[in-house]
Amino acid sequence: MKSCEQSKTELSEAKISEKYLEIAEKHRIKVTLFITGKTFEEETNDAKTLLGYKNLEIGGHTYSALRPRLIHSLYNRLGFSYYGPKYFQRRDIEKTVKIIREKIGRAVVSWRTHGYVSNNTTYSLLPRYRIKVISDEVKRSLLFPYRRKNLIFLPINVLPDHEHIFHGCRGHEEVARLYAIGWTDDFGPESYKVEQWLKIVTRQIKMIIEENGIATLLVHPLCMEVSDKMRSFRELCKFISNYETLFANEVVSFAEKTLIH
């Protein structure tokens, strides 16, 4: 994506994901990586290497992470969602699902829209392409997945990394700019050093498990690499290894059995 964050490492995200999966595998932790269709198109060999890890589920993440931004900003100004009108979303989902299925030999059933910019149009389209789970909502109070019609929503209920840690080009100046324009999410506007984030996250996981909920984390391979070369991620995996882990697609059966529809 040629982002500032990417410039802080010589490795591609696909390569960094190998390192990430090796660490998780060592601790017997299941991982769902939401990957763009374009990654499989442009980095086919590196992306296919990830398939050798049995602790991996691959989910869809739009075709090109909503690039170019100018087009999506135009959609937004015209009154559509940032993701775009129904025709564009349908084409984007179809293209993403198709290329990933061609490359990995099996259907994608989990989805995260880049930037969490899904809307009701997205929710109506995804089941048509056999998507069963979407994880696009950052909501600390939602301890369980829930069903809406033909789709199961898996809320991110643990402090996300990308929006809440100092990493890459996201330093104090950038965080101050975001604070000044009023940026926030359900966890507030604060950002932390990765070591502080780790302490908060482990505490939140423990609290959610004590409530018999499902702790759903958003932890990017690239963020973990540029923050401290995966040191905090290793500690996180060591902590998580005390608990059972699930792929995103595995919450389908859990939700069907336990949730009030």
> pLDDT (tens digit, 9 = 90+) per residue, 156-172?
999 999 999 999 888 88
Q: What is the pLDDT of residue 12?
A: 81
The full set of domain ranges for the chain reads: 6-256
* C-alpha closest to that of 35 among 241, 49, 72, 235: 49
User: Looking at the chain, which runs of residues are DSSP E strands?
Assistant: 31-35, 56-60, 110-111, 133-134, 146-148, 151-153
> pLDDT (tens digit, 9 = 90+) per residue, 88-139?
999 999 999 999 999 989 899 999 999 999 999 999 999 999 999 999 999 9
- Higher per-residue confidence, 1 vs 54: 54
Q: What is the pLDDT of residue 168?
A: 84
Percent of the chain scoring above 90 in pLDDT: 76
Q: Would you mind telling me the total number of residues written for the chain in this entry?
A: 261
What's the CA gap between 216 and 140, in Å, rounded?
A: 10
User: Six-digit token pair at 20?
Assistant: 């990430």
* C-alpha closest to that of 118 among 110, 191, 220: 110
Neighbours of 105 (CB within 10 A): 8
Q: What is the pLDDT of residue 3?
A: 67
Locus of tokens 């500032």: 4
170 to each of 21, 53, 165, how far by Cα in Å?
24, 31, 8
Q: Is the pLDDT of residue 183 over 50?
A: yes
What's the CA gap between 51 and 25, in Å, rounded?
A: 13
What's the CA gap between 27 and 230, in Å, rounded?
A: 14
Percent of the chain scoring above 70 in pLDDT: 94
SS3 state at 65: coil
Would you report the helix, strand and coil content of the chain in percent, each value rounded to 5? 50, 10, 40
> pLDDT (tens digit, 9 = 90+) per residue, 51-75?
999 999 999 999 999 988 788 888 8
Query: Please, are residues 223 and 2 in contact by the beta-carbon 8 Å criterion?
Result: no
Give the confidence band of 253 by pLDDT, cuts at 50, 70, 90.
Answer: confident
What's the CA gap between 197 and 60, in Å, rounded?
A: 27
Computed over every residue of the chain, the mean pLDDT equals 92
SS3 state at 4: coil
Q: Is the pLDDT of residue 180 over 90?
A: yes
Lowest mean pLDDT among 20-24, 147-151, 153-157, 234-238: 147-151
What's the CA gap between 71 and 58, in Å, rounded?
A: 27
Counting Cβ atoms within 10 Å, is residue 146 exposed (0-12), middle (13-18) or buried (19+)?
Answer: middle
Q: Is the pLDDT of residue 144 over 50?
A: yes
CATH hierarchy code of domain 6-256: 3.20.20.370
